[in-house]
Amino acid sequence: MRQRLEYALAWPIIRTLAILPRPLARAAGIIFALTVYLLHFRLRQVGMRNLELAFPEKSGREHAQILRGEFTSLGRQLAEVCKFPQYSIENIDEIVVYDGFENYERALARGKGVLFLTGHIGGWELSAFTHSLHGHPVHIVMRPMDNVYLDRLIRGYRTLHGNKTVDKDDFVRGLLGAMKQGETVGILMDTNMTPPQGVFVDFFGIPACTATGLARIALRTDAALVPGFTLWDPGLGKYRLRFDPALELIRTNDIEADVIANTQLFTKVIEDYVRRYPEQWLWVHRRWKTRPAGQPPLY
């Protein structure tokens, strides 16, 4: 009953944003997100705590400005997701443009599959969606949403143009199969994990429990590891889907050491992007919730 009620409350917002002209939809999405920012004390509290940890040199005023920027980014993305059924190859360039597409082409040409390293920054939901519209479907590793009705809706939107979803419970088998076929997989790896699925690596100088699956699959298959982020460009008034050159993996004779070293490498890439675009990262997630043994909680 509760899930049906949540969906019933969400549907009018989704429908309204879908039918409004894009500029109005973005404005309405941002207003909605900023209203959540004002009313949801717990999210503000988590966000401000994370910003204190990541940027201790900045003032509280600066932290609050970044956090409001995050909610602006979330509202903008919400509007775009609601309009997914209206986007096609004919109009997607009005919303998202490629930047560094040649890096993806080189990685794909290796023939061993492509692993996209990405995170909850900018318009992450637009990444695989845009890529699939251009004829490059992606396997998306995702955790099911708590609300089964919203989960069904979002899965439908994500797979409109050939993308496939891979549940985290079927992570290894799904990725190995995709790499064997020379396909592409997108993985968000900036969320808190718990051992044994995660190891502690530095994120903003603080130990953060981080998933090792991406490093293990990359080392096992020799797939190309390409950082890919969809970032809002205010000058263009569009998103840029940025692909960086494939990363060189760290390889020694110690597989477990290599897993940790590469997980740290991947995390540093994400941190560098967050430092460059702090207003676009998901600060309201408790990224440092899991602590090393003996360390006190940070929240």
Handedness of CA 153, 284, 170, 139 (dihedral sign): positive
Which DSSP category does 121 fall into?
B
User: Tokens in use for 200?
Assistant: 């502690």
Q: What is the CA radius of gyration of the chain?
A: 19
Whether residue 147 has pLDDT greater than 90: no
Return the SS3 of 228: strand
Tell me whether residue 258 is in a domain.
yes
CA distance 146 to 3: 9
Token pair for 22:
């894009």
Q: Which of 265, 188, 178, 198 is nearest to 228 (CA)?
A: 188
Domain that holds residue 83: 2-280
Residue that is written with structure tokens 């609300």 in the block? 147
pLDDT at 63: 98
Residue 26 tokens read as 């973005």
- Region 26-37: mean pLDDT is 97
Judge whether 291 lies within some domain.
no
Of 59-73, 159-173, 233-247, minimum mean pLDDT range: 159-173
Looking at the DSSP bridge assignments, the partners of residue 202 are 207
Alpha helix (H) ranges present in 40-59?
A: 41-54
Mean pLDDT in residue range 254-281: 98
The answer to whether residue 197 scores a pLDDT higher than 80 is yes
Asked if residue 298 is part of any domain, the answer here is no
Q: Position 256: which residue type?
A: E
Which has more confidence, 152 or 98?
A: 98
Cross-strand pairs, 167 = 142
Residue 75 maps to a domain: yes
Identify the pLDDT of residue 173: 74
Residue 238: band (very low, low, confident or very high) from pLDDT cuts 50, 70, 90:
very high
| Within-domain flag for 287 | no
Res 167 pLDDT > 80: no
Confidence of residue 127 (pLDDT cuts 50, 70, 90): very high
* Structural domain includes residue 294: no
DSSP-based three-state secondary structure for 14: helix
Lowest model confidence (mean pLDDT) among 3-7, 92-96, 102-106, 278-282: 3-7
Number of domains in the chain: 1
Question: What is residue 170's predicted lDDT score, i.e. its pLDDT?
Answer: 65
In the chain, the amino acid numbered 62 is E
Q: What is the mean pLDDT of residues 257-276?
A: 98
Percentage of residues in the chain with pLDDT exceeding 70? 99
Residue spans of alpha helices (H) in the chain: 2-19, 22-39, 41-54, 60-82, 101-109, 124-133, 148-158, 171-180, 213-221, 255-276
In a domain, 292, yes or no: no
**Worst-scoring range by mean pLDDT, 156-165, 174-183, 240-249, 286-295?**
174-183
The letter for the amino acid at 211 is: A
Amino acid at 130: T
pLDDT of 144 reads 79
pLDDT at 108 over 70: yes
Nearest-angstrom CA–CA distance, 67 and 45: 10
Range 122-148 average pLDDT:
91
